[in-house]
Chain A
Amino acid sequence: MKCLKDRLISGLLLLLSLALCFFSTQKFREQHKKETLFPSEGLASREMLSSYFPGLIDTPGDTEVYIYGGQNPGGNILILGGAHPNEPAGYVTAVILIENIQVSQGKIIVIPRANNSGFTHSEPQEGNLRGYSLETPGGKRFFRFGSRLTNPIHQWPDPTLYINPSGQKLSGQESRNLNRCYPGKPKGHLTEKIAFAIMEIIKKEKIDLAIDLHEAAPEYPVVNAIVFHENSAELASYSLMELQQIGFEFRLELSPNNLRGLSHREWGDHAQVMAILLETANPSQGRLKGKSSLSLIIEGKDRNYSKAAKFGLLFVPFDSEGIPVKLRVARHLAAIKILLSSFNELNPEKRIEVNHMPSSSQVKLKGIGQFLCPPYRK
């Protein structure tokens, strides 16, 4: 009788293990689902990154490329979001552009999930949330909060020392950091292939200006910054003055010549494109942050950072109000808008005309959700 009871308990424990495994599997698989984006009516075509470099076909690195305009000749612009999926302002800014803009002259290409693989997992040992929801007029939209690096399931193992395609020596895990792998390699590992495909877009679409949207920890010196390649120095300094006039403080950072593999360096060197990288301050990815929470991601509030600011340890002002994601998105949008208008002034023969781009003041006032489509729109 006891034997039967023991077996029954063992059987129940086995079933419990299988049930827990089943529910974990559901949660895990959700990480690989892409959230639906709803492009505006101005969308000319939607391609996949692999159409520019077939080496990415059927890989987790393949991602959507949204193309606007192109009917009337003008400047060609590339905007990259999600190169680091743990930097929400870059990704959300790209999504807002996709869901709002119309281009009447020139062409704008937006890649919202540049490192698609990075969206399928979270940063180990950080306790980060799987994602965050933004309230839109028609309901909540969920967005993944991923990792800075490519998922190790898709690219493994890391080398002890990574020598990137430009010859820079880096720590092994940087081999999964898209913004260290430029200009990429057609036969390299997955992240190098993604970088190579983005270089292919820049070359094949004859891009004139390429903007990489990023965020950085508030204690990192290059924050609230425009990082520029020397061939876009005039554009960057011109834009800085205009941004200061509308109340946005940015610092200008020249892309270091000896720091290889980054977008602002290699895009300019290898494709002669005007390369710009924008950084805002994101407390949810810093080393000083407290518990990871929705409030930290959305409202950007953190007691540790408030304290660090009082000690003068940060490179941006930080108080109990935090730095909300809507403010960071507004900064990105303001910078893009000014960069485009400065580009038009400096290159009148390659004008770019964009309509319905939400203004930074509107985003600050109304919030991000007002400029996102409801979750049910077809």
Chain B
Amino acid sequence: MFIVYHLIVFYLASHFIWYLFRENEFWKRVSVALVLIMFFLRLFLIK
């Protein structure tokens, strides 16, 4: 379950990173970066 959960979070985080590099509008990218923080925290921190 733990691995499945982390794979899902990793999948979504990678989509956000892809979106970050594809998007042209600055503020949209900032928003994505902020959301990414939460996903990173989920990946690396929260047990």
Report which A residues bind B (CB closer than 8 A). Answer: 6-7, 9-11, 13-14, 16-18, 20-21, 24-25, 28, 153
Contact = CB atoms under 8 A, between A and B. Distances in A.
B40 A21 contact: yes
23 contacts: A6-B21, A6-B24, A9-B26, A10-B20, A13-B29, A13-B32, A13-B33, A14-B17, A14-B20, A14-B33, A17-B34, A17-B37, A17-B40, A18-B40, A21-B37, A21-B41, A21-B44, A21-B45, A24-B41, A25-B41, A25-B44, A25-B45, A153-B46
Contacts, number: 41
Interface string B10-43: 0000000100110110100110111011001100
Interface residues of B, number: 19
Nearest to A19: B37
Contacts of A25: 41, 44-45
A25 B40 CA distance: 10
A9 B20 CA distance: 9
Contact of A7 (B21, B36, B37, B47): B21
Given A7-B21, A14-B36, A21-B45, 4 more contacts: A13-B32, A14-B17, A24-B41, A153-B46
Given A9-B29, A24-B45, A25-B45, A17 B21 contact: no
Leading 4 A-B pairs by shortest Cβ distance: A13-B33, A21-B40, A17-B36, A10-B21
Nearest to A20: B37
A153 B40 CA distance: 17
Contacts of A20: 37
Contact of B30 (A13, A24, A28, A153): A13
B8 to A, nearest CB: 17
Contacts of B20: 10, 13-14
Nearest to A3: B24
Nearest to B35: A17
A21 B37 CA distance: 6
B19 to A, nearest CB: 9
Contacts of A17: 33-34, 36-37, 40
A14 B30 CA distance: 9
Nearest to B32: A13
B7 to A, nearest CB: 19
A7 B41 CA distance: 23
Contacts of B21: 6-7, 10-11
A16 B33 CA distance: 8
Contacts of B17: 14
Contacts of B30: 13
A6 to B, nearest CB: 6
Nearest to B34: A17
A9 B34 CA distance: 14
B26 to A, nearest CB: 7
A153 B45 contact: no
A245 B23 CA distance: 75
